[in-house]
Amino acid sequence: MTIIRATYNQSFTKVLFLLLLFFASSLQTTNVRKVNPKQFLSLYNKYKDKTMGKKQVGEVVYKVQYVPLELKLIQLDKKGAMSEPLYTQYKNDRKHYVEFLLQVSIPNFGEEFLKYETSESSYESRLDYYSFQFKNDIRFIFDQKDTVLCDEFIFERNFGISPNASFVIGTSITKKYSQISVLVNDRVLSDRKVIFDFSNKDIKKLPSLKKYNKWKK
């Protein structure tokens, strides 16, 4: 009888272990939430500080914010530029892409940042640099070893409405990664490299959007 009881206990333990594995797997699967745009924006606003980096060099402040694909889709929908076919196409086209918003500001300078004078540049040369050359001084580093160029670059000029400067920057993703670093080497205002590290684990914590035809439901 003792041997039979031992065999039963081993079998029971094995079944219990398999059930726990199945339960854990189910939790991981349901953790990938599907939400509507309103729910996404609410969660994003609570969580976005974890995917943002900020550093100051002298009087210049650099801030880099991860921009999720879902946020871009919601913005396009608000502009009336989204439909179900475009939603699917945009998601497929951008799923292997990563995008950030880089902001440059000088807190104690109330005018357009291009008017901030440095000893070795004029307004025209600063405008030329940030419009065309700054892109070449930005790099993306995956897992501290694979360095790639910035292949998306948009200088969002505000013509003095705000003293801050905004740049949309991004690159394509060719393989899985655990960490992505954004290296910025501003050769005009600071002439010094600043690096921002982002964990893919933190990025993936944001939920996914429901299918476009379920947004309004």
pLDDT in tens, the chain (217 residues): 333 333 434 554 454 444 444 444 433 433 457 899 999 999 999 888 999 999 999 999 999 999 999 998 999 898 888 888 888 898 888 889 999 999 999 988 888 888 887 766 788 999 999 999 999 999 999 999 999 999 999 998 877 677 789 999 999 998 899 999 999 999 999 888 999 999 999 988 888 898 888 887 6
| Cα separation, 31 vs 21, whole angstroms | 15
- The reply to whether 86 and 192 lie within a common domain is yes
- The reply to whether 17 and 101 lie within a common domain is no
- The reply to whether 167 and 210 lie within a common domain is yes
Find the domain containing 16 and state its range: 1-31
Counting the structural domains of the chain, the total is: 2
- At residue 51's C-alpha, the angle toward residues 160 and 209, to 5°, is 100
Structural contact between residues 72 and 99, judged by C-beta atoms closer than 8 angstroms: yes
Structural contact between residues 98 and 180, judged by C-beta atoms closer than 8 angstroms: yes
pLDDT score for 3? 36
Q: Which of 69, 67, 99 is nearest to 170 (CA)?
A: 99
- The reply to whether 6 and 66 lie within a common domain is no
- The reply to whether 45 and 139 lie within a common domain is yes
- The reply to whether 69 and 166 lie within a common domain is yes
pLDDT score for 181? 97
- The reply to whether 8 and 107 lie within a common domain is no
- The reply to whether 81 and 163 lie within a common domain is yes
- The reply to whether 2 and 102 lie within a common domain is no
pTM, to two decimals: 0.81
pLDDT score for 11? 54
pLDDT score for 174? 86
- The reply to whether 27 and 106 lie within a common domain is no
- The reply to whether 79 and 152 lie within a common domain is yes
- The reply to whether 78 and 95 lie within a common domain is yes
Q: Who contacts 113 (Cβ-Cβ below 8 Å, separation ≥6)?
A: 104, 105, 106, 163, 164, 165, 189
Q: Who contacts 92 (Cβ-Cβ below 8 Å, separation ≥6)?
A: none
